[in-house]
Amino acid sequence: MKKLTALLSSAVLAVSAISAAVPQTVSAASEPYINYAEALQKSLFFYECQQAGPLPDWNRVEWRADSTMDDFITGGWYDAGDHVKFNLPMAYSASMIAWGLYQYPEGIEKCGEMENYVNNLTFVLDYLAACDLGDEVVFQVGNGQKDHTWWGPVELYDYAMNENGGYDGRPYYAGTKCSAAFGEMAAALAAGYCALQGRSDKTDYYLEHAENIFKIADTAKSDDEYQDSDASGFYRSSHFYDELFWAANWLYKATGEQEYLDKATGYIPNLGKELGSDELKYSWTMCWDDCMQGGMLLYAQNTQNSTYIARVKKHLDYSLTGVKHLDGGLAYYDSWGCLRYAATDGFLAAVACDTLDLGDTSKYEDFYKTQADYCLGDNPLGQSFVVGYGENAPRNAHHRTAHCSWNNELSNPTENRHILYGALVGGPDSTGNYEDDRQNFINNEVACDYNAGFTGLMAKMTEEYGGTTDPAFPEPEQRDDEFFVEAQIKQSEASGVSLSLKFTNHTAWPARVVNNMSYCYYFDASEVIDAGYKATDIVVRIDRDQAAMYGDEYRAVYSDITHYKDNIYYIEVSYPNGEAVLPISEGRQQCETMLALVFPDYKTGWDATNDYSNQDLLDSEDPVITDKITVYNNGVLVYGVEPDGTVPENTDPTDDVKPLKGDVNLDGKVTVADLTALNKYLVNLGKINSKAADNADYNSDKAVNVFDSTALRNKLLG
């Protein structure tokens, strides 16, 4: 009860200054509330957004589905906002995430994220192990040059690539002379072996492949095949001895075999040097292309050699005083994705403080906390740089599937359709400014390696400072219409009417092919019947069937004139093959039928103004999206309003939840999680729908405010 009281009290205090009528926002100048556990929770979710191949049943991303299922090796992570699986940065990311678990399991356990952490780590390690073919290793799946020609959701990647025919699947790249990529893969699998002891039954499997891949990398000591591949245009390797050094140190930790430590020692003369000297390089940090500083930290741990402990300390001192720092304390190593370097440098500093004898570590502790807090909003802009975290979070990350364009267009729609929770964006420019602009990929790109060191740092910060995860995460997204018809009257005369009817697929939850879609155009045949004809005497003419252009298997199917009620009739246009209309390009996101209805015997007397489906079209010269042309899937109404007022059944997952005062997260019970959800809403850190708002009005005064929070708190306290 004491713990419950403290939690509830702190939650209410967070909103005690809020006006009862209008929730207030926090100014950029005020100190933000930093919740490391929530940041860790969402960073792990980001990796679920990146999953390729068949999704595991624990994947929580409602807008993702199975994708690139014909890859030579399925699984793994898409690299960034694109759809290629580059093993060099992927393996680097996996190794850093494994290090976070290995070093700081208590923080992960404490906040309840261990299962999600292990799930995401084993998912990527399974892929990396599968890339080991025995005598050679796969180092990439997908072609970057081809991939970057299309901007759309990955679930429809194969359809987009084959829109003009000739697509024969995604290539894969394998070889033996790829020491950097293979060293990184071996390191990831060995680090995973260390981190997952007692948490997975696959550790021996990972170690087996780590040793084989390392043997291939060490035997070749060459990047020739890698540098001559598609990968070199995106993740060109600068050197490979640092990756071999990194891998050997992890293999020594995993096996305890002196052979690996001896190999690590043997690589040291080949590691990077400071420009113009023989001194080992210290003026750069850990990243996908340079594992030297991380390897040096592991080597210092493994040997406890004072010389190498001093090398680690020299790098940390450079991080404090040698590299540029922005206002707010961010270590600014490079303009492209600056936060990944700062967060990773913070993680290295934390691990060094916790594992090496560095003397007084207070300045290094301040450093890693500053890097973490800057990413989470404690900076001059008051800007969170993690999508979906904090009050002023980025939304429009440079990410194809999260944006979910339906017409291969970077700027359409204006806002990303999905929240890419947990993604660490590139960060501010060299002046400290930042704009949430999808088209600025230098500052608003996201990638697996961006979140790698950051995830480990959040595990450390959670262990040291605590925090709470969001019990309502992830909340269902607000969905827009996925299917509708955009219509236009092309000509309306006494002899009849001609129309353009564009059936539209803007699916996004997830983007997908849906077979057996149809729509109904309704018209009033009173004038025809009054003239002595039957409605079925009306002449129906199909002037264009766009679907037929793609092949006979895609043709639309047109019904006869069918009675609805009274003098209202309809024609149904069906697409048995859902591939006729796909959100992959301007030409394919809609499929047009040019429909003409002509007065019987080609006489006059047609009245287009009394036709139900024309009501929104009559006063517009432009195409109009109208809900009076109803859309169906397998005969079930999914969009629009029929002439008698019939609407689609509510598909809101909370629809069956009965009203319950205090049940803000709509889980059918009233707990501390509801108070948390209410308080987040009151400080503009969360959203609730109308059903939740009714339940949140705990005192039934027809307003949701701090008084409801207080009343709910008192109820929970008894």
SS3 546: helix
- DSSP letter for each residue of 415-444: S-SS--TT-B-----TTS-----TT-HHHH
What six digits make up the tokens of 435? 């704009």
Final residue in a domain of this structure, among 610, 639, 668 = 639
SS3 672: helix
Q: What is the pLDDT of residue 8?
A: 37
Asked if 516 contacts 483 with a C-beta cutoff of 8 angstroms, the reply is no
Residues 410 and 442 occupy one common structural domain: yes
As a whole number of angstroms, the distance between CA 91 and CA 101 comes to 15
Residues 601 and 712 occupy one common structural domain: no
Residue 411 amino acid letter: S
436 catalytically annotated: yes
Residue 155 dihedral angles phi and psi, to the nearest 5° = -60, -25
Q: Residue with structure tokens 């592991």?
A: 298
Residue 513 half-sphere exposure toward CB, CA atoms < 13 A: 17
Other CB atoms within 10 Å distance of the CB of residue 218: 20
Burial of 456 (0-12, 13-18, 19+ CB in 10 A): buried
User: 687 is in which domain, residue-wise?
Assistant: 2-28+654-717
Angle among Cα 301, 304, 305 to the nearest 5 degrees reads 125
Is there a domain that residue 478 lies in?
no
pLDDT at 12 over 50: no
Read off the pLDDT of residues 225-270 as tens digits, 9 standing for 90 and up.
Answer: 999 999 999 999 999 999 999 999 999 999 999 999 999 999 999 9
Percent of the chain past pLDDT 70, that is, above it, reads: 93
Residues 583 and 704 occupy one common structural domain: no
Residue 489 dihedral angles phi and psi, to the nearest 5° = -80, 115
Is there a domain that residue 658 lies in?
yes
Residues 65 and 124 occupy one common structural domain: yes
Residues 83 and 228 occupy one common structural domain: yes
Residues 411 and 302 occupy one common structural domain: yes
Is there a domain that residue 209 lies in?
yes
Question: What's the start-to-end Cα distance of the chain, in Å?
Answer: 10
CATH value at residue 60: 1.50.10.10
Q: How confident is the model at residue 22 (pLDDT cuts 50, 70, 90)?
A: very low
Least confident of 290-294, 308-312, 689-693: 689-693
Q: Which is the catalytic residue, given 48, 436, 449, 463? A: 436
Q: Which is the catalytic residue, given 398, 399, 403, 418? A: 398
Contacts of 111 (CB under 8 A, 6+ apart): 37, 40, 41, 462, 466, 467, 468, 469
Closest of 531, 528, 530, 547 to residue 539, by C-alpha: 528
pLDDT at 123 over 90: yes
As a whole number of angstroms, the distance between CA 455 and CA 610 comes to 61
- Distance, C-alpha 377 to centroid of its chain: 20
Is there a domain that residue 170 lies in?
yes
Look at the chain and report how many structural domains it folds into: 3
Is there a domain that residue 471 lies in?
no
pLDDT at 2 over 50: no
398 catalytically annotated: yes
Residues 440 and 576 occupy one common structural domain: no
SS3 182: helix
Q: Which is the catalytic residue, given 218, 223, 345, 445? A: 445
Least confident of 9-18, 364-373, 461-470, 604-613: 9-18
Is there a domain that residue 649 lies in?
no
Residues 267 and 382 occupy one common structural domain: yes
Residues 605 and 628 occupy one common structural domain: yes
Q: What is the pLDDT of residue 671?
A: 83
Q: What average pLDDT does this structure show over 358-380?
A: 98
As a whole number of angstroms, the distance between CA 190 and CA 202 comes to 12
Final residue in a domain of this structure, among 431, 465, 499 = 465
Q: Which is the catalytic residue, given 38, 48, 79, 82? A: 82
CATH value at residue 559: 2.60.40.710
445 catalytically annotated: yes
Q: What is the pLDDT of residue 25?
A: 31
Is there a domain that residue 644 lies in?
no
Residues 433 and 552 occupy one common structural domain: no
Is there a domain that residue 477 lies in?
no
Asked if 377 contacts 384 with a C-beta cutoff of 8 angstroms, the reply is yes
Q: What is the pLDDT of residue 331?
A: 98
Residues 284 and 407 occupy one common structural domain: yes
Q: What is the pLDDT of residue 688?
A: 67
Residues 309 and 384 occupy one common structural domain: yes
